Amino acid sequence: MEEITPEPIPVATGVAVQMAFACENISTDPAGRLSFQNVIDQLNAVTFPAATPSFFVIFSFIRSTPGFLMQCRVEIVPPVGDPIVSQALQEMAFHSDSLVARAICGLPGLMWPTPGEYIIRFTSMGNPIVAFPLKVNQIQLPGQSGR
């Protein structure tokens, strides 16, 4: 009997990004549908370091063929310096009957050390797959004097 060697499944090739964003909360309804509440396109804080009690980052990918994203990681990189977050995620599998995969990373109590533009990125095997900016602003409350 002839032995059949399976064709290797490509890793981190042919991946397209469907969505990448941050939000404050996630819920699932009884039918299993996911809802994202309070999508975050910027953050405002009076003082620093500033905390976000509830913070999620969502990434969704699609492929045209089965494969994997391995050694996945979410990183939040400040304007200067090393990442303030480097969170490992599970490997993502793309099957012939489901070529879409989603990664949800919850980061409760995330501390933002300073104002500025942070980069939120998703990597696989150390290679950036997608990144997006998040502006963190320092604001004054109404009636506060600007010193």
CA 94 from centre of chain:
18
In a domain, 107, yes or no: yes
In a domain, 48, yes or no: yes
Residue 138 or residue 66, greater confidence: 138
Its pTM stands at 0.84
- d(C-alpha 99, C-alpha 108), whole Å: 29
* C-alpha dihedral sign at 137, 56, 36, 131: positive
Structure confidence at residue 143 (pLDDT): 81
In a domain, 100, yes or no: yes
pLDDT(45) > 70: yes
In a domain, 143, yes or no: no
Decide if 35 contacts 26 (C-beta within 8 A).
Answer: yes
Average of per-residue pLDDT across 18-37:
94
Domains in the chain, number: 1
**CATH code, domain carrying 67:** 2.70.50.60
* Model confidence pLDDT, tens digit, residues 54-93: 999 999 999 988 888 999 999 999 999 999 999 999 999 9
pLDDT(5) > 90: no
Domain of residue 95 covers: 16-138
CA nearest neighbour of 41 among 29, 57, 27, 63: 57
CA nearest neighbour of 106 among 60, 55, 36: 55
Decide if 56 contacts 23 (C-beta within 8 A).
Answer: yes
